[in-house]
Structure 1
Amino acid sequence: MDKVNNKYAEIEWREDGQPLSRTYDDIYFSSASGLEETRYVFLQQNTLAERWQRLGKDGVFTIAETGFGTGLNFIAAAELWQQTAPESARLHFISVEKFPLRRNDLRRALDLWPQLASLAQSLIDNYPPLLATGVHRLQFGQISLTLIIGEASQALSSLRLQRDSDHQVDAWFLDGFAPAKNPDMWTPELFANMAALSGPGATLATFTCAGLVKRGLRDAGFALRKVPGFAHKREMLCGTLESSQSLETRETPWHLPKEENQLPQTVAVVGAGIASATAARALAERGLRVQVFEQGEEPGSGGSGNDQGILYAKLSPKPGPNGDFNLHALMFAQRYYHSRCPDVSHFSGLLQLAQTERQQQLQDQVATTLAKSDGQFLAEPVDAHTASLLAGVVLPFGGLHFPRAGWIEPKKVCATLLQHPNITLHSNHSVLELHQNPTDWLLKTDRSDVSADAVVLCGANDIRQFAATAPLPLKPIRGQVSKARATEGSSRLKVALCGEGYITPAHCGSQSFGATFKLKETATELRDSEHGENLQTLAGLLPQVAEDFADQTLTGRAALRAATPDYLPLAGPVPDWASIGRTYEALRKNRKQFIPARADYHRGLYVMGGLGSRGFTYAPLTAEVLASWILHDPLPVSATLAKALHPTRFAIRDLGRNRDIS
C-alpha cells in the first residue's frame, strides 16, 4: 500500500457551526459566507462562467487547487459547470490536501450549505474509504476529481510525466490556510510546479496578498493584479501565466514518445473482455467513437466469461507499486461498478481469510496500518467467530472483512459496459493484421477492413500475435472455475469468501468456486482433475460444502489469463523496440545513467492487458490510465505508478541487465 496517511484534519467545531483547524488555528471558510466567498474569489475572478460558456461541445477544462479542505470549492465549481458548460464538455478538477477531513467531518461541514445537498451527497458517497497518500480519482459524470493526498508541492509534482501535455491547467484556486498560519505550503517549489502544470494563459485567484506569495508567483512567470477582497478583506490577488516553464529533470524519458500523438476521434479496441470493455467505455465517455472487435460470439467469451467472480485485492503492508496499485484499483473498482453496473454487482461484503500463519502475520501488519488511518471503512480484521457471523456459515479462520467488496457477474458486466451510444461491437470478428498508414490504422479482419485513428490491443495473450507487441512478456495462465448447484448448507453463505481459493454466494441456484492456476498451459477443455483440485481447496474453507458439492456432477469453465512478470498490468503506448534499444543502449553499461533523448513509438498504438487473476479489480483504473495516455488527460495515478504500468518498462529493465529486449 501507499504510505498510509494517518494525519487527518483535527477539527474544532465552533458554536456557529464553523469548522476550525486545530493544526493551523484557522477557519476553513469565511464566517460571513463561505459559499459566497468561494464564488467571488475563485469562480468570478477566474471568469469561469464566461470561459465555460465559450467551450465547444467536446471541450475540456482543467482546474487545479491547493487545499481541498471541506470540498466546498469543488462543489461550487461543479454547480457552476452544470449551469454554464456544454453538456458533453468535460471538467477536470485537481486538488491537493495534506490533512484530509474524515468522512463525518466532511458531511458536517457541507451540511452548512443545504442548497448544495445533491452535489455534497455525491462527494460523500464517493469519498475514498481510505485516504492513503497518493492520487485518488473520483468520477461525477462529465466531472472528474483528482484528489491527491500529500504536501502540496510534492503532490502536484507527482502528476508530472515530463510530457508536453503536462501543461494542461487552465485555472488555479490558490487556497489553503493563510501564509502566516501555514508557511510550509507557500514555497517557491509550489509556484514552480504550478507554472510547470499550467497551460498557455492559465489564470489564478487567491484570497491572500502576502508578499511571499506575490514574489513567488511572479518569479514563476505569473503576471499579477490586485482586486478588492471578499467581505472584510481589503485586497486579493488574480493573475495570468505570462511565461510557460518546464522544470528540469534528471529522469530518462523512456516512457515518452519522441512525438506526442494527435488526439484521435475514432479508436478500434481489439477484444471484448473486461480490459476491452473498460477501455472502450473510458474512451466512449470522453466522446470518442469506439469500435470493439471480439472474435467470440459475445462479450466476455474468453477469460472474462464466468458467471460469478469476486472483486478483491491483496493488500500489502509495504509501500511499493504492487501494493499501491492494488489499494487504489480496489477502491476505484468498487465505485466504478456501483455506478455503471449496479444490477450485476453484488457488494454485500467479502472475507479474505487467513488460512496459514504467514497469511495471518501479513494480515496483522495490514490491520495495524489500517488502524492508524480510519481504515475500517475499507477493511477491518475479524476473528473466526465474527467472520462466521458475517458469512452466515461456520468458518475456522478469521481474516479481513471488506464491507464494500463482493462479487460481480463478469459476462454481464462486460456487456453492460459496452452498451454506450459511442461504442459499436463487432462480434465474431478476428483481427488478423494491423497496418499503420500516414494518418490512421488499417485493421484487416476475417470479415472486412476497418480504419481508425488509434488502436488499443486488449486481447489478453492474443496481444502478442502482432509484430509490434510480440516482445511484450505476457505469459498465459490456465484457470478452471467449478460450478455447483447450491445446497441447503451452501446457500447460507452471505458474503464472498477468498483464501487459498474462493467461493461466491448462491445466485440463480448455483455457486462458483475455484480457481486453478496452471502457468504456461494453454488448453481450455474442462478437466475432472481440476474440479477435484477446486474441491480440495474449497474443503480448506468450507469442508461440509465441499463434501456436498463432491456428490454432484460439476460444470464450469476453463480459460486463459494473461499475466506479466511483475504481476502489474500493461497500460500505455507501444514503442518501436529497435528504437528503444538504440536510444537507451548505454543503459547496458550503467542502468542509472541519465539519457535525455526520447525513442520512437508507434503513433496511435496502445496496449492494455496483463491483468492476471484480478482482472475485474484492476481493469477500471487501468483503463483510466490508458485514457490519460491517449487523450493527454490528467493522470488518475501518480506518474511513478503510471510508469510502473508502462509497456516499455520490461525493455528498460532488460537493457539495464544487458539482456535482449526482443
Structure 2
Amino acid sequence: MTDDKRLISSAQIEWTPEQVPKATHFDDIYYSVSDGLAESDYVFVQQNQLPERFAALRAGEVFTVAETGFGTGLNFLQTLRAWFECAPKSAELQFISFEKFPLSGEDLSKAHGAFAELGTLSQALCAVYPLRLPGWHEMSLFDGKVRLIVWFGDLLLGLPEFECSVDAWFLDGFAPSKNPDMWQPALYTQMARLSHVQTTFATFTAVGEVRRGLQKAGFAVEKMPGFGRKREMCRGQLSQERAFSSKAPWFASPDPIKPVKQRAVVIGAGLAGATVARQLAEQGWTVRVLEAGAQPGQQASGNLAGAIHPLVTADWNLRSQFYLRGFETTLKWLEPWLDNRQIVGELNGLMQLAVTDTLDKRLKDSLQRVGLPPEFAVWCDAEQASARIGQTTEFEGLFFPKGGWVRPSTVVDTCLAHENIELRLHETVTDLVKNDRAWSIVTNQTQHEAEVVVVATGALDEALNRQLGLPIRPVKGQVSHLPATAIQAPLHCTVTHRGYTVTGNLGEDAPYEGVTGATFEAPDTATELSEAAQSENREMVSEALPNWWNHEAGLHGKIGFRPTTPDHLPLIGAVPPPEWMAEAYLSQPHSQVPHRYPPQRYQTGLFVSNGHGARGLMSVFLGAEIIGRMVAGEMAVMPQHLYHAVHPSRFAIRAWRSGKKSY
C-alpha cells in the first residue's frame, strides 16, 4: 500500500463460508450474511424515501445520489432497481460513489452471484466497471439515462473535486471503529457543501460521534431501527444551508446557456472542432462548422494513423490524470464506431518501448508506485515485447491491451455526419462580435449568427488565437508513409518509441501499409516533405525495430502542425473577457485570500478547444464533453483541479498568483 493519498490499493478480500466477501484490511464484511440486498434496500433506498421521490420527478429532471464506499456496488444496483420501477422514463439518475480499495472486476461479479434477481443490472455494471486507477471514472448506462461516477481514492480528497447538487447520501463505508479515516468532520462539511434543504442521508451506524458530526454540519439526525440484528441506524435531512466560498474563484464554471435558438458555430473542422460539433449536435443544437481549407481535417487530423494510449508517469501527476480521463472518453466514443466499421483503426493493443533509461525508470516506477492493473498495462521483457509486436526489439516496455490506432480523418467524417451539422468549406473567420442576442461570426464570404461559438482552429490561425489570448505555438511534424514493399511484415500491434509506428489497413484510398514518425520541428513552417525528416523517422523506428524498415521507400508522407501550449495540456472551456479579468484579478494584489475576489466572468457562449498537441486523440473527445456539459449547465466530466489545469486563462492567472506582472 502506498503512502501517497492520491493513489489507491486494490481491495484484499477473502470469502466467508457463506460466500460473502470480507475486507481483510478492515476485518469486516461488505454486506449482511443473511440478506445483503434487503439490507441495502432498507438502510439506503427506503430510509432516503427514494421510491416516492423517484416517482415524483418531472420529465427530464436529474436525481443525484452520492455514496461513501462503492464496495461491491450492491447499493448502486439496488438503487437502479428502485429507479426503473418508480422513475419516469425521461428522468436521469446520477450516482456518485467513492472507493479507496476497489475490487477487481472478477470479485465484483462473484459478489453479485448470490443475487439472481440482479441479473441484467449486474451484467451492465460489470461490462463498464472501470480500470482500477486513481481518480474519477465515469460510465454511461442504459442509453445515457444513468450516469455512474466512481472516484477511486481517498474520499476526503475526492469530495472537494465535485461541484454538484446531491439529493440523497448513502453513508456506507466500513464501521467508524474499523475505518476512522473516513468518518471525519471534513466528510460532513463536504456533504453540507454539496447539499440543499431537501437533501437526505441514511447510514447503518448510529454512533454518537457520527450523529454529532452531522448535526454540527447542519443536518437534522433521526435514529431508526437497524436492519436485522443491528439495533439502530440513522437518517436525516439538511436543515440549514450554509455559504461556502470557492478556493479558486478565477476558475469558476460558466453559467449555462439559455438561448432562444439553439444555434452553434464551430470554427475549425479538425478533430477538436468535429468532436465538439458532434457533441453539441447530439444535445439538440443546430451546428454550422466553418473550415478555412478545402477539406476538413487538413493538419495533424489528416494523418493516416494516430496512436491511442494513455500517459503513464511515476507519480501519477496532473498530466497522467488528465490523459486517463481522456483515454477512457476516447474509448467510449471510438469503440462502437470501430465495432460498426464506421471508422478505420484497430484497438488491438499498443506497446510502449522503453527506448531510454529515463523512460524505462518512469514506467517501472509507475508499475510499482501506482500499481497499474494488468487490464490496463502489462510489463514485458524484450523477448515478450518482440512476441507481442511480431518483430525483434532489444527493449523492454509496457503493453496497453486497450491501446491501438485510428485514422483521424475517418473520425472527423463520422463526427460531422450528423443531421444537425452543416459543414462550410473555404470560410476563414476574420472577426467575432457579440451583440445582445447572439454572436456574429464574420468570414471572408459572409456573416453567421449563433448563440454559441467554439473556436477550434488549431495552430495556424494566429490572428484568432491572439484575439482570444491563447498561447498556441505551432510545432511541425512529418510522418512517413511506407508501402508493403518497404517493411518486413505488418506489426501485431501499434508501437511507440521515440515516435510511433502503425501498420494495417489504413483505408481503401491509402496505398500504404505503414505509418511512422513523427518529427518535432519548431519553429520551421515549411510545408514540403524533407529527406532529413524522413531520415529522422527511419532512425527512430530502426532504433526500436532494427529489422523492420528493410529498404528505402521513397519520399512519401505528410506534414502537419500541432497546436501546443507551454505546459503541454490543451485549452478547453469558456473564454473570460480580458478587460474584466484584468480589472478583477490581474491589476489587484495577488496574495489576498481567495474569497476576497469575485467569481470569474465569461463571454457568454464563447468557448475554445485548442492546444491538443501530439496527444489530441486522447483529449479532443473529453474536450467536446467538457464544453457540452458547460453549455447545458450540467455537472463536469472530470475533477475540478483538472478543469483548472486546462482553463483557457490559466497562464495569466498563474502568473498573477505567483506575483509576476504578466505571463
Both proteins in one fold, TM over 0.5: yes
The 1:473–1:541 alpha-carbon spacing in structure 2 relative to 1, beyond 3 Å, is same
Asked if 1:533 corresponds to 2:536, the answer is: yes
Aligned to 2:509: none
CA positional deviation for 1:623: 3.1
Distance 2:86 2:263 in 1: 28
The 1:293–1:144 alpha-carbon spacing in structure 2 relative to 1, beyond 3 Å, is farther
* 8 Å contact from structure 2 (residues 568, 613) kept in 1: yes
Aligned to 1:163: none
* 8 Å contact from structure 1 (residues 268, 454) kept in 2: yes
Distance 1:116 1:524 in 2: 59
Q: Percent same amino acid at aligned positions?
A: 37
CA positional deviation for 1:407: 0.9
CA distances 1:280-304 after superposition (whole Å, capped 9, x unpaired) = 3444445555443334455423321
Aligned to 1:92: 94
Aligned to 1:368: 368
Asked if 1:203 corresponds to 2:206, the answer is: no
- Larger CA deviation: 455-464 vs 342-351: 455-464
CA positional deviation for 1:644: 1.1
- What does 1:506-517 align with in structure 2 at a 5 Å threshold? 506-508=504-506, 510-517=513-520
CA distances 1:125-144 after superposition (whole Å, capped 9, x unpaired) = 33333322x22222334122
Aligned to 2:347: 347
CA positional deviation for 1:494: 0.5
Aligned equivalent of 1:270, options 263, 267, 273: 267
* 8 Å contact from structure 1 (residues 571, 609) kept in 2: yes
The 1:289–1:84 alpha-carbon spacing in structure 2 relative to 1, beyond 3 Å, is farther
- What does 1:152-191 align with in structure 2 at a 5 Å threshold? 152-159=155-162, 166-191=163-188
Secondary structure of 1:144's partner? strand
The 1:91–1:295 alpha-carbon spacing in structure 2 relative to 1, beyond 3 Å, is farther
- What does 1:212-611 align with in structure 2 at a 5 Å threshold? 212-233=209-230, 235-248=232-245, 251-256=247-252, 260-263=255-258, 265-296=262-293, 298-342=295-339, 343=341, 344=343, 345-370=345-370, 373-420=371-418, 423-446=421-444, 448-461=446-459, 465-466=463-464, 469-487=467-485, 490-508=488-506, 510-548=513-551, 550=552, 552-585=553-586, 590=591, 595-611=596-612
Asked if 1:5 corresponds to 2:4, the answer is: no
Aligned to 2:639: 638
The 1:637–1:589 alpha-carbon spacing in structure 2 relative to 1, beyond 3 Å, is closer
* 8 Å contact from structure 2 (residues 629, 635) kept in 1: yes
CA positional deviation for 1:67: 0.8
CA distances 1:70-128 after superposition (whole Å, capped 9, x unpaired) = 11222333444455545554332211112211222212112223333433333333333
What residue identity is the alignment partner of 1:505?
Answer: T
What residue identity is the alignment partner of 1:62?
Answer: T
Distance 1:304 1:337 in 2: 15
The 1:228–1:268 alpha-carbon spacing in structure 2 relative to 1, beyond 3 Å, is farther
**How much is the aligned-residue C-alpha RMSD, in angstroms?**
3.1
Distance 1:438 1:577 in 2: 19
CA positional deviation for 1:44: 3.5
Distance 1:645 1:29 in 2: 41
CA distances 1:219-238 after superposition (whole Å, capped 9, x unpaired) = 22223445554445455433
Distance 1:152 1:357 in 2: 36
CA positional deviation for 1:482: 1.7
Distance 2:289 2:215 in 1: 49
CA positional deviation for 1:196: 0.4
Secondary structure of 1:254's partner? helix
Asked if 1:103 corresponds to 2:105, the answer is: yes
Distance 2:529 2:86 in 1: 57
* 8 Å contact from structure 2 (residues 431, 443) kept in 1: yes
CA positional deviation for 1:537: 2.4
CA distances 1:336-374 after superposition (whole Å, capped 9, x unpaired) = 42245433341111111122233323333233335xx25
- What does 1:21-100 align with in structure 2 at a 5 Å threshold? 21-82=23-84, 84-87=86-89, 89-100=91-102
What residue identity is the alignment partner of 2:494?
Answer: A
The 1:281–1:639 alpha-carbon spacing in structure 2 relative to 1, beyond 3 Å, is same
* 8 Å contact from structure 1 (residues 307, 512) kept in 2: yes
Distance 1:485 1:587 in 2: 60
Distance 2:572 2:300 in 1: 19
* 8 Å contact from structure 1 (residues 341, 413) kept in 2: no
Distance 1:231 1:578 in 2: 63
- Larger CA deviation: 237-246 vs 559-568: 237-246
Aligned to 1:162: none
Secondary structure of 2:558's partner? strand
Distance 1:441 1:416 in 2: 27
Secondary structure of 2:529's partner? coil
TM-score (norm 1): 0.89
CA positional deviation for 1:63: 1.6
What residue identity is the alignment partner of 1:121?
Answer: Q
CA positional deviation for 1:470: 3.4
- Larger CA deviation: 139-148 vs 177-186: 177-186
Secondary structure of 1:397's partner? coil
* 8 Å contact from structure 2 (residues 104, 132) kept in 1: no
What residue identity is the alignment partner of 2:451?
Answer: D
Distance 2:217 2:286 in 1: 40
Q: Unmatched 5+ residue regions in structure 1?
A: 160-165
The 1:111–1:440 alpha-carbon spacing in structure 2 relative to 1, beyond 3 Å, is farther
Distance 1:51 1:296 in 2: 53
CA distances 1:496-515 after superposition (whole Å, capped 9, x unpaired) = 11111211022155211111
- Larger CA deviation: 58-67 vs 580-589: 580-589
* 8 Å contact from structure 2 (residues 473, 564) kept in 1: yes
* 8 Å contact from structure 1 (residues 193, 247) kept in 2: no
* 8 Å contact from structure 1 (residues 92, 634) kept in 2: no
Secondary structure of 1:575's partner? coil
Aligned equivalent of 2:114, options 109, 112, 115: 112
What residue identity is the alignment partner of 2:100?
Answer: K
Secondary structure of 1:390's partner? helix
* 8 Å contact from structure 2 (residues 55, 86) kept in 1: yes
Secondary structure of 1:540's partner? helix
